[in-house]
Structure 1
């Protein structure tokens, strides 16, 4: 196949060189990586008329461009991605090499007069160098350069659109012009037009049309002139879908203003009358942090300069309430940050009209101006409000002071809401702190906070490095799970959890491209087996079996705690063992009920119940044609001694159950740690001489383990469940 391909390519080159070389330019285009030119291309025009765009699809492409004798050829290279892989050569019809080498950064106009031996198919060449000058709001002076001996021309123009070419029969035409210029009048202000020109070669013979040359008439100034909006892009590839709408006195007068490519500036005039209110609304898309814009007033002074807001990286802010042509302009871009239950930091932007102080009025949302709280002659464009009420909506207004009896109009209201107070649980409030090592927030990542296996909050770090704190109200014995969901730059994210005493009990950080690990089974406020009557006793484990691994076929188990249904579960096909942990309080009565529900093969089903210390308190298997028996009246945690309770209070082991990491926090130095499995085999042993450490149990299989801790002259033994 490769030989045939090469043979065919050689034939094409031979054919071009032998039969067409005197008429065609040859384009030899190469890509060293073999994936084509990735958006780059060569644009070719002949006598100012677009011939085509040419590029390489794979490693090498040979293409050709027809020309006739004396035609002016123009080759323009347009950059793409990975230009460093590109090489090309351009050969003239006579075989001369016009250019050969890597893709240049500045091949703007490679002009060449064709040395083709092929005559033109028309009687004369088309004009070139079309131009529009002396633009006004309703007129333009059009000029062009004759190609040779042509002295008569036909002119066509229309508003710029896809069908403006003369062949489509729309627009305006003037035939038989004897000068290579023409003044168009009666045009519309701030309108884009196309014009085309054609040489008259003789009776019934014309050149091809040259064009379009596109131009835009000037805008009609307002009573005080016009403002100018300039767009910039720091990377140089345009705004990548981002755009601006211009609103004047509440009406959109220009929409979808954008930069298609380049760094800018690209300018848009905005006619204004004295006192007009101008809003500039920015809509981001891709890479908004590269975008910025500047607004100039009627005298050419910069009054707004908006760049990307760090660290949000959501592009420049919109600008609201710009007053046109007034001696003292109103502040713009009112904003609040640092909002808590009682504090808010207010800020605004001056439009540069000469003021150096501001008046501020604020109050409960909806207040009438002059009835709020007034603060005069602030010397900075920011102010921190304090002693606010939690969970309350507020408004604020700002006015610029330009001099004695010279004030701007008020800007506002800007509305914000203070944070609500968190109602503490029966044992207080846990807190989760979110952090980001890079300082740009979690970039879409978030955590779900589960309390007793129900999602109570979904939180994220929107901006900055943090920490941002979120309250978790808890009751004694509540089980807290933190479920992390990644998005972008996950390994920058981390979180910490603090208990009701402010002690950090969990710290998880991302690394190696992965976000922080989840946290499961963190028990609030009290350890299992400690405390007074009806305090949390700990985790009991129900383990269910199916020897055929075909599921329970409709039968199920229900768990009642103190006569109230707590859990209901069954087994599905593909699993022969299932572990279900559940929390119980001291002196709870547990009833385990098996429901046959008309299922088959019930003799294959069974269950085992283990207490908070790992002891088996119930074990039932099915018999011939019958499922396992019920177990009723199990009373839990009645024999916890004060010594055992004190021991539990001295050392914290959490979370338990665990799926990844286990933390051990002791009041005394731990001299030795041993973990054994159900066979008595040592799976972990260490002599830490520390009071706090974290053990990685991610490689442990799902089962019960025994942790034995030596500290001082005492030891502690506790069961640990690995559950995923």
Structure 2
């Protein structure tokens, strides 16, 4: 019986009728098969079959053979569901001397095995022929007329595959056909202790065995397919280990990992040591069972281990409790839990040894990796407070590396390393002057590439490895404090020389570890991203508002502005934009490769909501006015763009526009000020003629608009207005212009303190009052492009005048 998918017949079954009677029901319980079953008939019996379908019947197939191995019926062949329904299979013809069935080999050792079979007739004598697997019958070794079933076959070679055949001898003149071959393998020669198995080969180690009730086997990997087994190995943190997947269905019993024979005669106090990872994250615990063969017999279930720790744990078992007469074996057995999958079992570093007085360190880790340094750390499993460390280029032979002796630092900082280089390190615990652990390692790590500046130099020639990936760090400084808070990544500009762009994909990772795909295998057989022309100005720009569309719709060499595969908004997690960004580049296939020639990350400041105000106006000086100015203030942010703003001047004689100045392309200065004024005003970025600013009653207004909306003669309006100042120099109130202000706000008199020629209209305190509010204006000394200051005032208490009434001529007061 077989199943194409390998999950058993899923409820399907075949019923066999012999001479009209249902004598048995057969099904493939699990796995792919083939599985053989037997039933008895007599000569002349009619054999019929009925198949009852379960789930996925098209996967089921079965064949029926007669006593001499000839196929008499088949159903379900070729992926077609079996159709037998009380179908005649055959009229049985039984040989006078039927062939033995159910050949098997048990109690297999290094040099022997018990061969057995099921007698189909009444024979009590059999012939056996055996030889190396694949031998031609007639060329093997034959044992004639044995009466032993099972038969103890001896004199075999270790770790050797054998075949055997059996023939029933019914009489001196009648024998059956030969049954077979049945294949088995003898055990390996015993290995000598001390013995260690790290499971580093990636497959079942030589001379080990794995089996179970369902056919599920132990696995050997560097990582697992889920989050419930160990995330890495115990030996070095980067190697392999053995594990079982408790989520596989059906759950297996007797899921066994069996060692070869191990000769412990050289050990005084032999013990078993191994490392177990069993982290139950919900549901029932899985259990690891240990069984021991002492050289004579098996001791089953001598210890049970049920873990619930997210880490490797060392387990030991003392073998001195047994009388060991010959090489031993050990079994690790798991009975999986039905209905749960959260407690896989992981196993590593099995040892048969003397008890360890100075255990080796474990759980290596590397952190704070830079281009020339790294911090290495480990877990001390004993009481050592000193360690030896040996490190070198990856793959170095121990004894040839650099050794640090008797360090007391854990973690330990390795310095003076080369950038972009793989290193290995080993660690040894020092328990006393005469006792040290074995070395543990290697653990491998890679230093970072020395970061390039942002923007990079032109044509840096950073190599992209063929059919491999590489990380290029980009050092960013002085770009705000929070991504998405006060700054965003606006653009990525790249030039990459690479043949066959379809081979290339790349992404960008922020200092906080957020990754965004830029481009993934685009460009077909075209070459390059950007132009390599020595200028590094014709690059590929990635921008969420790319005017040339998605990068996947572009064509090589992608000169222009394109939308990346990922979303730059993902970077906006309030993390610091400063630090090392990583350009991750992957060359997917052999032959075509390339270089990064230019990188630039362009950031854009996120500005707070605009709150630009008119902060100071000076309209009148002595004689011809040559120091007139208008000052805007952004609240102190500095360098605030003034695009889309316009300053408008109103003449109070008709309340109409007489000038308007676009501020597009201008920004406030670093202190937050922007000045328009006569040529003599050094701080002015926009100039107007001397004696141009009307003296009152007039108005200055700020709009978020364009000068084209305010041609000369336009009547005053509040549409799109942001701020205004209605001012004069002892002029009557212009009620119409006051409509530019919030209700109740006054017209300001530059001559309020009687010195209009030397004073301006200034917000006091500086920047106070808010938009379209003028109540905090007063006359003050002009300060274009700087903080406003009030005119000093003298004040005193009434006691000050006491002596003045009795002035003897010693007091004089002059007020300017």
Shorter-chain-normalised TM-score: which range?
Answer: 0.3 to 0.5
Q: TM-score normalized by structure 2?
A: 0.36
Which of structures 1 and 2 has the bigger CA Rg? 2
Q: Which has the higher strand share?
A: 1
Structure with bigger RCO (C-alpha 8 Å, 6+ apart): 2
